[in-house]
Structure 1
């Protein structure tokens, strides 16, 4: 059976994610164990809270290492919300600039909008070759965030082979911000929105992600 680990580093909305993945009929485990996280078919990295605190929590349980090692082995990783944001090079929050994992080029900054946080359902401008959003171009997804990346650049990452793939960026608009709603490159996928809170559209996105696993090919 397909196995998925939801990574537990103290900063994720793990219960909702566990339920959403469990409903897909796969073997799902909540753990911060490096070996279990490395060996699973898929790894979900959720995130709630401040960028810098999430990075600190992730590093405290070697989450940064397991993400790097999985991508080096081309084993799928899905970052969600702040779990997406920390994939970027840096984040600016509470007048603090923190370094991210550096897997995506760009910086996470505050949304420019009259009402923050951006909370609720919104439509996307999906990349035409998005695997996550295949068949979901007109669906709405659920967001809860005050910060986002306004650009996403492909970067060279030591020991990670993206096999010449370019990043596929899906966009969303809120207020005066045009921000990255999803990014896909090689074994790395990330969403600013919450698929686990996005009803049937979110469930289908998670199925689409599972269908990218090498064992499903």
Structure 2
């Protein structure tokens, strides 16, 4: 079973349906026991970093997510969920993140359109099980802030939006995708599928 962590901010339905389309059982839940028993977990997210972290703390899911990451089972952050994996963000003031990955989240700076919205091509920066059998292609982004990893080895893929922008990160069992894989056509679904392949779950969706 794949737990979709419900802390009140995220595309829960679309992520859950994408997981089920790939042949896995998905459970949208805020229950600590259910999350910890899952074969894999996904932390989605839409909205402001500070609000998201406050919701995680208020629901007790900040510690649950950290415990889950420490368990060694695969964890994937999507969009804002990826940003929450980092140590801090400067979105509307300084906010501490989950601290699962060193680095910070900053606003796009420059004379160009923000938010970064639309289809952009991925560039794979190093080998990863997420890229098994895949070629670089386009995925769908919507974001005004971007992550700067503290360690280069955590940066798995970038995209070009007036600069090299972090698109996929990974360290051990913890992964993040800045874009929405469930809204990114065949490549997005195959990237999500490769993440799910890392879990012990092989139970078909009901």
TM-score (norm 1): 0.87
1:193 lines up with 2:179 in the alignment: yes
SS in 2 for 1:149: strand
1:52 lines up with 2:50 in the alignment: yes
SS in 2 for 1:124: strand
1:99 lines up with 2:96 in the alignment: yes
The 1-side partners of 2:119 and 2:148 are apart by 19
1:66 corresponding residue in structure 2: 64
Give unmatched runs, 5+ long, in structure 2.
none
1:167 lines up with 2:154 in the alignment: yes
SS in 2 for 1:59: helix
Give unmatched runs, 5+ long, in structure 1.
155-165
Measured after TM superposition, the shift of residue 150 of structure 1 is 2.8
1:115 corresponding residue in structure 2: 113
The 2-side partners of 1:171 and 1:15 are apart by 27
Equivalent residues of 1:125, 1:137 under 8 A apart: no
Measured after TM superposition, the shift of residue 173 of structure 1 is 1.6
Q: Would you say how many aligned residue pairs link Structure 1 and Structure 2?
A: 201
The 2-side partners of 1:184 and 1:151 are apart by 10
1:212 corresponding residue in structure 2: 198
